Amino acid sequence: MKNLLLQTTIPYTQDDWSIARFSMLAQILSSVQDDSGQSRFRVTARDRENLSNGDDRILAKLDESDFDQLWLFGVDVGNGLTSGDCAAITRFHQRGGGIMTTRDHQDLGISFCTLGGIGDANHFHSKNPELDPTRHKIDDTESPNITWPNYHSGANGDYQRVQATEPLHPVMKNPKNKSGRIETLPAHPHEGAISVPARESMRARVIATGKSKLTGTPFNIAVAFEGNGKGRALVDSSFHHFLDYNLDPSKGCPSFVSEPPGHAIVENPQATEDAHAYARNIALWLAA
């Protein structure tokens, strides 16, 4: 059994995206079984806990732990990771640990910039913006208080059509669809921006893309990293692909969320299955 850590970059805050709002993801991953019916993953879910020096109690010694995977949810707008945390995460990755990171619009998850290699796959408003200056503009015009990057893939609670790039990556497979691939993922009004870092082009590639429902602008949803003597990693464009609120809006959201939700994902079994398959596939691929 593999030990999997789900971790946010903020201490527990009830009216925020704390780890409790990812409870459905924890259940999905805990329910994955091997051929003999045994659980594949032991899931630990926690928010950030700062020590007296500012480091996180677990992340700062992640490389010395028995965790096999780190799923890191960038819900901070700064100071979400210390240098000590990043050094330990890097050592964890170098010893073969699997990592999944996911952030969101504008500067949410900006502490990922301090993660070497995979951190460079994330583009924010204030740091490491997308290389193409024509993308430095607001895509989601329905939320004027949020600036770029903010690609509009739909309402929370609805689903978006996604394209799996060729060759088809294991993370994007779903044999329950006729196409054999994941076709939808949870939507969000303002997704973040990611790409393959130039220095990682030999071991990373885009494996899924989406398209803005407002402007038609394509954007990257997932970048996969493997090889080069390190553990595997996946960088995702929005933690809303995994949130309870996006999988089932009746689960609720923080008070600062103002956009009205949709309900299409709970009304469409295929969309729900695709979202679950995406999470399962990431865990299984990171474990391979």
Residue 194 in tokens: 């990611």
Q: According to the model, what pLDDT value does residue 228 have?
A: 75
Strands 98-102 and 69-73: parallel
236-250 residue pLDDT tens: 999 999 999 999 999
Of 83-87, 201-205, 208-212, 227-231, which range is least confident? 227-231
Determine the Cα–Cα distance for residues 288 and 284; give it in Å rounded to an integer: 6
pTM above 0.85, yes or no: yes
Hey, what are 186's tokens? 């949870």
Please count the structural domains in the chain: 1
Q: Give residue 270's domain range.
A: 2-287
Q: How far is CA 151 from CA 96, 104, 137, 147, in A?
A: 33, 10, 10, 10
Say what the pLDDT of residue 76 is: 96
Q: What is the CATH number of the domain that holds 227?
A: 3.40.50
pLDDT in tens, 19-36: 999 999 999 999 999 989
Q: How far is CA 254 from CA 18, 154, 159, 251, in A?
A: 10, 19, 20, 11
Cα maximum dimension of the chain: 53
Can you tell me the distance from the alpha carbon of 15 to that of 37, in angstroms, rounded to the nearest whole number?
A: 38
Average pLDDT of the chain to the nearest whole number: 97
